[in-house]
A and B are shown apart, each in its own frame.
Chain A
């Protein structure tokens, strides 16, 4: 039974990955769809990072795009000034974001939940103020234009050129899959189970021998590093770094992506990212009336889908399955 469940999960994963990589073939004729999907991936990566924190550990961080910004600016600066090639640049960005995560986590993770939420908000605002005002380094409010895309990569059987839409999509999809696998592995590890224990009852977890602070600090750093990776991918995709991409509105946006999609589920943040990127693109002219409706939809969701859309879908699916088994049993008797 265990083996079969494992095989089924592996098959679903393989199908998911294959579908992800076949997207450029399916939408070869429509660069607009490809653009939107690439942007979705750029948002899904930091969202998955935040999900590890918010969904699996129960810590709400309201400044997470600040860490994405650290990754983005480090990657952009290294690439723009030709100091490093693509892989070292984005790794440096990821590590820098993780480091800032550690520096933030050490003082902040000692705080109680509501204090923690507001202090992460303050950290996010401080990082934004730095991006926006350190003109000599970040270009200030005008941002950092002219970030080059990575060079073409020869795989032997094919050449992936990230300067073309399909090529960059494949690059973003690879980063996305990498983070998805990390998310999966973390959640299903002993470490992940300890995180769940901390989320459910911190005192009990501590008394059972879980080093609560060390676990929280580790996952906070990992989560910030993943956000940094997402920021790096995004800045290379858009070819420019702008402070607004990592400001308060974006901080809130990524929290909404995770919660509305369904925090604490593997696919929830991906669904949320698709919704929050594709929907505004579809409603291109976001006029005030539509935004009022969108706001009302968020309130309704908060009231009627307490576990997000993915949680709602899971509940509906379980109900349907239960109904069917009832029907089947009725048929047998």
Chain B
């Protein structure tokens, strides 16, 4: 029982990370129908930038996290303008461009920071919280809290602001949105900015707990993709449920089988759910779905 509780908290923590990655990908997909396979390197960039900001600029971890998110929002806008806007209909070339970006970013990180992983020490990783017989780092709860806060902020933004309404309108019907005077280019920029900032937040939060390495974004990317398919592509609640579900399933599965097959369980669950609901848990069924 104690072990189960421990794995559920650990799983919720990793799930929160997957949610931050998946939310960004689902926003980009929902608004622009683009699958950004390079989303993992934005996560990785978040880890490195946070490290640089803490060590060389601010000395304060919370301030560094905010600066990281701002910087990544700018990077996201540049990516949208420079690369993805021109690849909206060409899925294969989205994959090629994403891979090019991954190669550039991961090897760029090796050039700038060296191939070995960095360790960023922040106070919240060393202070522990006791829950009964178990103890977790404060960082565990910061991560879960930050994900929940991001979800709430995103919902408020989408439901209560004019810009959020413009984003939802563009996602539902781009032509009609343009007809009523919504600047779709502005919406696309905004989407990429928010999505990149969320990925950067994930990297900045997980970096101190694990290590900061050029490949640190690969796994969150894979799990984020799984989460958005599991939840239903284009569905924000789906990405949230999918992300947390994957984190908890993979953590709890290690109680029953060896960690070698942890990912196997996740992918098997994905395929099993799509067999029953080919449009995902919260996705919208369209014509032609079996």
> Is the C-beta of B145 less than 8 angstroms from some C-beta in chain A?
no
> Is the C-beta of B261 less than 8 angstroms from some C-beta in chain A?
yes
Whole-angstrom CA separation of A296 from B115 in the bound complex: 20
Contact flags B70-96 to A (C-beta < 8 A → 1, else 0): 000000000000010011001111111
Asked whether, in the complex, the Cβ of B100 is within 8 Å of the Cβ of A302, the reply is yes
Asked whether, in the complex, the Cβ of A292 is within 8 Å of the Cβ of B104, the reply is yes
Asked whether, in the complex, the Cβ of B99 is within 8 Å of the Cβ of A298, the reply is yes
Which residues of B are found within 8 Å of A298, using beta-carbon distances? 96-97, 99-100, 103
Assess A110 versus B104: contact at CB under 8 Å? Given A115-B274, A301-B96: no
Contact flags B273-284 to A (C-beta < 8 A → 1, else 0): 011001110000
Q: How many A-B residue pairs have CB under 8 A?
A: 136
Which residues of A are found within 8 Å of B225, using beta-carbon distances? 118, 121
What is the distance, in angstroms, from B45's C-beta to the closest C-beta of chain A? 14
Interface-facing stretch out of A92-100, A228-236, A252-260: A252-260
Asked whether, in the complex, the Cβ of B233 is within 8 Å of the Cβ of A302, the reply is no
What is the distance, in angstroms, from A52's C-beta to the closest C-beta of chain B? 14
For window 202-226 of chain A, which residues contact chain B by CB distance below 8 Å? 202-203
> Is the C-beta of A289 less than 8 angstroms from some C-beta in chain B?
yes
Whole-angstrom CA separation of A115 from B273 in the bound complex: 12
Asked whether, in the complex, the Cβ of A289 is within 8 Å of the Cβ of B104, the reply is no
For window 231-290 of chain B, which residues contact chain A by CB distance below 8 Å? 233, 260-261, 263-264, 267-268, 270-271, 274-275, 278-280, 286, 288-290
Assess A295 versus B102: contact at CB under 8 Å? Given A107-B275, A121-B225, A129-B263: yes
Which residues of B are found within 8 Å of A306, using beta-carbon distances? 90, 93
Asked whether, in the complex, the Cβ of A291 is within 8 Å of the Cβ of B107, the reply is yes
Which residues of B are found within 8 Å of A303, using beta-carbon distances? 83, 86-87, 97
> Is the C-beta of B222 less than 8 angstroms from some C-beta in chain A?
yes
Asked whether, in the complex, the Cβ of A118 is within 8 Å of the Cβ of B229, the reply is yes
Asked whether, in the complex, the Cβ of B274 is within 8 Å of the Cβ of A119, the reply is yes
> Is the C-beta of A263 less than 8 angstroms from some C-beta in chain B?
yes
Interface of A is mostly: helix
Whole-angstrom CA separation of A159 from B16 in the bound complex: 63
> Is the C-beta of A54 less than 8 angstroms from some C-beta in chain B?
yes
Contact flags A289-310 to B (C-beta < 8 A → 1, else 0): 1011011111111110010000
Asked whether, in the complex, the Cβ of A299 is within 8 Å of the Cβ of B270, the reply is no
> Is the C-beta of A266 less than 8 angstroms from some C-beta in chain B?
no
- How many chain B residues sit at the interface, stated as a range, is 35 or more
Asked whether, in the complex, the Cβ of B101 is within 8 Å of the Cβ of A295, the reply is yes
What is the distance, in angstroms, from B28's C-beta to the closest C-beta of chain A? 12
Closest to B86 in A: A303
Closest to B218 in A: A248
For window 7-51 of chain A, which residues contact chain B by CB distance below 8 Å? none
Most chain B Cβ neighbours within 10 Å, of A118, A259, A296: A118
Assess A133 versus B99: contact at CB under 8 Å? Given A118-B225, A118-B229: no
Which residues of B are found within 8 Å of A133, using beta-carbon distances? 260-261
> Is the C-beta of B226 less than 8 angstroms from some C-beta in chain A?
yes
> Is the C-beta of B29 less than 8 angstroms from some C-beta in chain A?
yes
> Is the C-beta of A242 less than 8 angstroms from some C-beta in chain B?
no
> Is the C-beta of B110 less than 8 angstroms from some C-beta in chain A?
yes
Whole-angstrom CA separation of A292 from B35 in the bound complex: 22
Asked whether, in the complex, the Cβ of A112 is within 8 Å of the Cβ of B278, the reply is yes
Asked whether, in the complex, the Cβ of B102 is within 8 Å of the Cβ of A299, the reply is no
Closest to A140 in B: B260
Which residues of B are found within 8 Å of A203, using beta-carbon distances? 288
Which residues of A are found within 8 Å of B105, using beta-carbon distances? 295
Contact flags A96-121 to B (C-beta < 8 A → 1, else 0): 00000000000110111111011101
Asked whether, in the complex, the Cβ of A129 is within 8 Å of the Cβ of B261, the reply is yes
Whole-angstrom CA separation of A276 from B290 in the bound complex: 38
Asked whether, in the complex, the Cβ of B99 is within 8 Å of the Cβ of A256, the reply is yes
Which residues of B are found within 8 Å of A110, using beta-carbon distances? 278, 289-290
Asked whether, in the complex, the Cβ of A60 is within 8 Å of the Cβ of B264, the reply is no
What is the distance, in angstroms, from A308's C-beta to the closest C-beta of chain B? 9
- 8 nearest A-B residue pairs (beta carbon): A298-B100, A295-B103, A295-B104, A302-B97, A299-B100, A122-B267, A291-B107, A110-B290
Given contacts A133-B261, A288-B107, 18 further A-B contacts (CB under 8 A): A54-B92, A62-B95, A107-B274, A108-B271, A112-B279, A117-B91, A118-B226, A121-B222, A122-B270, A123-B267, A252-B95, A260-B96, A292-B104, A292-B108, A296-B100, A302-B83, A302-B87, A302-B90
